[in-house]
Copies of this chain bind each other. A is one copy, B any other.
Amino acid sequence: MSFAFDLPPAARIGQPAESIDTPSLVLDLAVFERNVERMQAAADKAGVKLRPHAKAHKTPDIALAQIARGAVGICCQKVSEAIPFVRAGVRDIHISNEVAGPAKAALLAELARHAHLSVCVDDLRQIDALAAATLAAGSQLDIFVEVDVGQGRCGVADGDAALPLVERIAAHSQLTLRGLQAYHGGIQHLRGWDERREAAARAADRTGNAVARLAAAGVRCDVVTGGGSGSVEFDLSSGVYTEIQPGSYVFMDADYGSNAYTGTMRFEHGLFIATAVMSVAAGDRVVVDAGLKSMAVDSGLPWIWEKNAPSNSLDYVAANDEHGIVRPKQEGAVDALPPLGSRMMLVPGHCDPTLNLYDELVGVRGGVVACIWPISARGLSR
């Protein structure tokens, strides 16, 4: 028997949102647009360029929407991740990361023939590899020296340590030093607003010192790039960054939602996992059909979202591969449990690796499916 059989789509344009198949990744388009505009307006007001991080969404349609509203380009975290964005017409991409090995340098140099690309370095040998690859490809590459301003990951320690790299970059006509990258991921998730403000101030100090050290040596940094969704209000007013690279603000996951915020820089939750109750056989819990394969739990379990806020009555308490266990917040309050087949919207704990699990993002407006965006960079980690 022949088998010509394809999985029906999870959603069709024009269909009511409540009939999207589960589990599916759903974007509230009105919230998304407000988040994009709020960040752009804040950057414009501060006179700082916005280069959103595409590792959060991996979705060319989102990058194009950000650029249409004023973003100068995007960041990607891996070279392969940039390919679908170049294919979709994005022409200015910063690889906010170091690149390991000649194969990746060659890929980057080849991509640089099709778009304006920059990349980070923190080692002389990376520069040599990039110089050889761009020479072979006949392309030009902009280079940022990464400075570790407290994250404890990649990057040289300070301006002094950056100087030999700056010199080596200058030795290659196909490489151009554009400035410094100074990103501190840990700050983004500090819960208290004052705590984040102080940590961001320390990182900005270290960044400013590195810029000053280079200036004293006669090296100008046209661009100083850094900052994220949790620190952006401080980064914008620091006077140090010429460009910010937040990513998660378009979605707001539960982890970012657990931060305390003041003022206008709080973004709205727009990303959801639509899930359905598949078992109610036990009286004290229900089981939903979204688990570890439908969401990343590295930053905590998802929130159950009801009436535009985290549920008052239910908790998602455990994730198995393809199951989620939902219990009443109040022990014994089993009347709060939803019936078999009913639907729930979850706010994932961490948006970036959750997007990386899906091929499509279903956009909803006014209760109706309005678009289905391919998550084209899903799985591109090379």
Contact = CB atoms under 8 A, between A and B. Distances in A.
Interface of A: 1, 3, 5-8, 10, 21-24, 55, 77-78, 80, 83, 86-87, 97-101, 103-104, 107, 110-111, 114, 122-123, 125-126, 146, 148, 152-157, 161, 185, 276-282, 285, 287, 289-290, 292-294, 296-298, 319-323, 325, 340-341, 350, 352-353, 356-359, 379-382
A154 B297 contact: no
Nearest to A325: B153
A382 B20 CA distance: 11
Task: Give the secondary structure class of A's interface.
Answer: loop
Contacts of A285: 152
Most buried by B among A8, A356, A380, A381: A381
A18 to B, nearest CB: 11
Nearest to A278: B100
B154 A322 contact: no
Contact of A114 (B3, B78, B298): B3
A21 B381 CA distance: 10
A293 B5 contact: no
Given A100-B341, A357-B356, A3 B321 contact: no
Contacts of A280: 123
B298 A148 contact: no
Contact of A287 (B21, B125, B153, B325): B153
B7 A293 contact: no
Contact of A353 (B87, B126, B277, B292): B292
A280 B379 CA distance: 25
Given A10-B382, A356-B357, A98 B279 contact: yes
A279 B152 CA distance: 11
Contacts of A104: 21
B22 A100 contact: yes
Nearest to A104: B21
A293 B154 contact: no
A126 to B, nearest CB: 8
**Which A-B residue pairs are the 5 nearest by beta carbons?**
A100-B278, A122-B281, A154-B279, A100-B276, A77-B322
Contact of A290 (B279, B292, B381): B381
Contact of A292 (B111, B156, B277, B296): B296
A47 B126 CA distance: 58
